Structure 1
Amino acid sequence: MLRHNAITGLFLFLLAATAWAGDPEQGRELHQENCIQCHAAMKDGIYGHDGTGIYTRENRRIESLAALYKQVRRCKTSLGVSWPENQIEDVVTYLNQNFYKFEE
């Protein structure tokens, strides 16, 4: 009985964790509409014509998923956009799946 409860609990936890994951397609759209305008203009284009090289450069500053969340929130404030938490999650999910590859 205890083993059954543990397995059921684990299943429900994993199901809930999946539900919290952001939508990477929505994150890509938000990124394209907002973030890229600054990143593409940085450092005279040394981060690539589209600015995404900032995420893959050798000396990148973001080294954990927690740091990525923190940076997306900082950028949101700098841009003056009013993203609710689910949109922050979308952008983080997009960036992590496509560039950072941190374990979730």
Structure 2
Amino acid sequence: MKRALTLFGASLLLASTSYVHAQGGDPRAGESLHSDANCLSCHTANPYSTAKTPNFERLVAAVNFCNVNLNTGWFDDEVLDVATYLNEKYYKYEIK
């Protein structure tokens, strides 16, 4: 029974994460987080290029890479907010 509840809880978590991911985040919150973290201090010459981020999923992964390596302390929903902001401003990927 405990295992079944654990699996059920995990499936709900994955389902909710997929739903939020499919919907994208809050671009206004993302813009604020992006500004507060001073992201453009590293991304200066060609701020955001599609070379390493060919789709929205990879963009989220790239934002999370910076989050982890620079220890910004963002939660997953905040990473999604920043990725959504960047997508609306620079990338224009379809969010699936």
TM over 0.5: yes
TM-score (normalizing by structure 1): 0.63
Which segments of 5 or more consecutive residues in structure 2 lack a partner in the other structure?
Answer: 1-18
Partner of 2:63: 72
Partner of 2:84: 93
TM-score (normalizing by structure 2): 0.67
1:12-91 correspondence runs (5 A): 20-34=23-37, 35-40=39-44, 47=45, 53-56=46-49, 60-91=51-82
The answer to whether the Cα contact below 8 Å between 1:54 and 1:60 also exists between their aligned partners in 2 is no
User: Which of structures 1 and 2 has the larger relative contact order (alpha carbons within 8 angstroms, sep 6+)?
Assistant: 2
* Aligned length in residues: 76
> How far 1:26 moved relative to its partner?
0.9
Q: Runs of 4 or more off by more than 6 Å in structure 1?
A: none
Q: Distance in 2 between matches of 1:26 and 1:55?
A: 19
The percentage of aligned residue pairs carrying the same residue is 33
Q: Which has the greater radius of gyration? A: 1
RMSD value, Cα? 2.3
Q: Distance in 2 between matches of 1:70 and 1:18?
A: 12
Which segments of 5 or more consecutive residues in structure 1 lack a partner in the other structure?
Answer: 1-15, 41-46, 48-52
> How far 1:32 moved relative to its partner?
1.2
CA 17–83 in structure 1, closer or farther in 2 if over 3 Å, else same: closer
Q: Distance in 1 between matches of 2:23 and 2:88?
A: 15
The answer to whether the Cα contact below 8 Å between 1:27 and 1:91 also exists between their aligned partners in 2 is yes
The answer to whether the Cα contact below 8 Å between 1:21 and 1:89 also exists between their aligned partners in 2 is yes
